[in-house]
Amino acid sequence: MTSPATLMLHQPVPDLEAQTVSGGTWSLADQSAEYFIMVVSYRVLHCPICGNHISDLDRKMDDFKAAGVEVVVIS
């Protein structure tokens, strides 16, 4: 297992790819959000804390989109 990378401001981020629910692959390198991409990771939806967090995030999606932020949620 490799050590997690240290993320630094204004530096390239490590490669990140994830399988989508539709069977495709999402790649961070292929994205071009207006300002930035926020990647959110949660354990499981049936966890009350995670469920509340995801519900709150869902309520704010229009605000994020208006601000030019692309949100990606990974479980």
Every domain of the chain and the residues it spans: 25-74
Output 20 or 7, whichever has higher pLDDT: 20
Output 4 or 21, whichever has higher pLDDT: 21
Q: What b/e readout covers 18-29, taking b as 16+ CB neighbours within 10 angstroms? A: eeeeeeeeeeee
Q: If we measure between CA atoms, which residue out of 19, 2, 8, 6 comes closest to residue 74?
A: 19
The predicted structure's pLDDT at residue 13: 79
Judge whether residue 33 has pLDDT over 80. no
Judge whether residue 1 has pLDDT over 60. no
Calculate mean pLDDT across residues 32-48.
80
Calculate mean pLDDT across residues 12-26.
87
